[in-house]
Amino acid sequence: MAKIGDIDVGDFPLLLAPMEDVSDPPFRALCKEQGADVVYTEFISSEGLIRDAAKSVMKLDIYEKERPVGIQIFGAVMESMLKSVEIVEASGPDIIDINFGCPVKKVVSKGAGAGILKDIDLMVKLTEAMVKHTKLPVTVKTRLGWDDNSIKIVEVAERLQDVGCAAISIHGRTRAQMYKGDANWYPIAEVKNNPRMHIPVFGNGDVNTPERAVEMRDKYGLDGAMIGRASIGYPWFFKEVKHYMETGERCKPPTMEERIEAARRHLQMSLDWKGEVLGVFETRRHYTNYFRGIPHFKEYRMKLVTSDRSEDVFAAMDLIEKEFAGYEFI
């Protein structure tokens, strides 16, 4: 049984990764219903929080039905990070997660996200200060290193644990790789196999089939899997992984009716939470996966991803439901 602080998260928990403009409350709710054990917010700028930037503050919204939920923050300035911890605490999350892994240039250029992999001492100091500044469990998400010549993740993970980090999620790529090439899980297994490590070690990167999740558990011995891109527009991925772990067999994919219902609910929840413009815009990236595999679908997909009015998107869904009624996904 893996534990993050005092929180039982189950045997080999599946965690929804924090993803910008993806892991918002509507999508987290859908993933939770389909078996995600722990969900994380989109990452939030500590500087944005202390400036009271509207977009950053909005990301603090969490709901009882999604617990346990972690709020993830990023930054590289000690004072800002500690102030943001106080703001985050007031939202009542179960976990505070620090992003030391985002490879995006605008984050890295400020020394935050994966940028901090160039300064491991600062990474450890920030973590230690934040642990001391809150009663909530503090976890870390990071990468293997800055590049192939600077992979010291076994040492880094041990140092983070020693200053109070309650769990660590490791993406099996360096910052230099961005999202290219294959994720390398062997260094993550080395972290787990370090006899001095006793906190949960979760793997991230390329968990894109139920078989890969089982491999992460059985071959690499990790404590859980953090799932990102495989879940976008496909919250059923969590359910499918759990079914495969229990039975050794793939379960049937969701039906057309289930996909349409989820897509409608997703859009409606997004409209309720973000309003018309953002609600329509930020659900677009999910539609390709909701309906992946349907032949001759381009014309319908274009309606979904180019319509600016929610009523047009709902109308497109009605049309898809009618045109492809009974279509069987393989």
Q: What is the DSSP letter of 249?
A: S
121 backbone dihedrals φ, ψ, rounded to 5°: -60, -45
CA distances from 6 to 15, 35, 69, 130, 195 (A): 17, 21, 14, 18, 22
Q: Using CA atoms, how far apart are residues 254 and 260, in angstroms rounded to an integer?
A: 10
Query: Hey, which bits of 128-172 come out as E strands?
Result: 138-143, 167-171
C-alpha of 199 from chain center: 19
Neighbours of 300 (CB within 10 A): 18
Return d(Cα 249, Cα 243) in angstroms, integer: 7
- Answer whether 254's CB lies under 8 Å from 265's CB: no
Is-catalytic flag, 251?
no
CA atoms of 270 and 275, how far apart (whole Å): 7
Q: Active site residue: 31, 102, 165, 251, which one?
A: 102
Chain centre distance of CA 306:
26
Please give the positions annotated as active site.
102
